[in-house]
């Protein structure tokens, strides 16, 4: 399975969400093969839904500054 999310650099806020389903049910689960976040200098990266990593390298966060926060508001489940 390919990478779910890959970002290198930047300082703007990023929000990742699967969104509302057509039947007005609760948002779903984001499923992918890994998350790579590198060299962020500001602005939070926020995943609003459940994130399930089913392969790849799990979650890699490297470089950057303390202003570049990463939030998993819906929870994080990693199986690699």
Residues 18, 2: Cα–Cα separation, whole Å = 17
Chain-centre distance for alpha carbon 15: 8
| Model pLDDT for residues 63-72, shown as the tens digit of each residue | 988 888 899 9
pLDDT for position 45? 92
- Write the CA distances from 1 to 15, 18, 31, 33, 70, integer angstroms: 22, 18, 9, 5, 22
DSSP E strands: which ranges in 1-80? 5-8, 14-16, 30-32, 35-38, 45-47, 51-53, 59-62, 70-72, 76-78
Q: How far apart are CA 65 and CA 28, in angstroms?
A: 31
Q: pLDDT tens for residues 28-38?
A: 677 788 899 99
pTM of the model: 0.79
């Amino acid at each position: 399975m390919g990478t779910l999310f890959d970002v290198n650099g930047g300082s703007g806020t990023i929000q990742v969400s699967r969104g509302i389903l057509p039947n007005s049910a609760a948002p779903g689960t984001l499923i992918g093969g890994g998350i790579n976040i590198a060299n962020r200098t500001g602005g939070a990266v926020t995943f609003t839904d459940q994130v399930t990593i089913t392969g790849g390298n799990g979650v890699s966060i490297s470089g950057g500054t303390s202003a570049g926060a990463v939030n998993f508001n819906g929870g994080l489940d990693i199986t690699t």
